[in-house]
Amino acid sequence: MREIITSVKKSLFVVILLVVFSTYLSLYTVALHIVAARHIYEDPDSKVVSWRTGPSGSLFPWPKEPGMLEVLTKLNEVDLVIYRYLVKTLALVGFSILLWVAAGVSIFKVRVK
C-alpha cells in the first residue's frame, strides 16, 4: 500500500511540473510571437534582422518590446538565435504542443491508476 501511495505522489509531482512548465512555455511562446511579429524586421535582400524601433527590445528571458524611436537596431546574438531557430521554424510552438501532450498523457496515467 505504501508503495502505491509513493508512486502516486511521484506521478502527481511529475504532472504538476509538466503542467506548470507547459503553461509557462505556452505563455512565453505567445508573447514571443507577438513581439517578433510587431517589432522585428528582416530585410529580404541582405537577411539582416533588426528591431524596427529603438532602443532595442529583448526576446530572453521574457519578450520585451523595444522603445518608440523610429530606428533600425540589430538584434543581439541571443535574440537572433531565438528568432531564427525558434520563431521562424515554429520549433517553440511544436515543443509547447509536445509538452502539453506529455502532460495530458501523464494526467491520464495518474487517473487510470
Inform me whether the pLDDT recorded for 12 exceeds 60.
yes
Q: What is the pLDDT of residues 36-91, one digit of tens each?
A: 999 999 999 998 999 999 999 999 999 999 999 999 999 999 999 999 999 999 99
Distance CA 66, CA 39 (A): 7
Domain residue limits at 59:
2-112
Is 35 a residue whose pLDDT tops 60?
yes
- Please list, residue by residue across 73-110, b when 16 or more beta carbons sit within 10 angstroms of its beta carbon and e when fewer do: bebeeebbebbeebbeeeebbeebeebbeebeebeeee
Average pLDDT over the chain, rounded to an integer: 91
Show the cell assigned to 113: 491508476
Number of separate domains in the chain: 1
pLDDT at 109 over 90: no
For residue 44, give the H/E element and its range: none
What is the value of pTM for the model shown?
Answer: 0.87
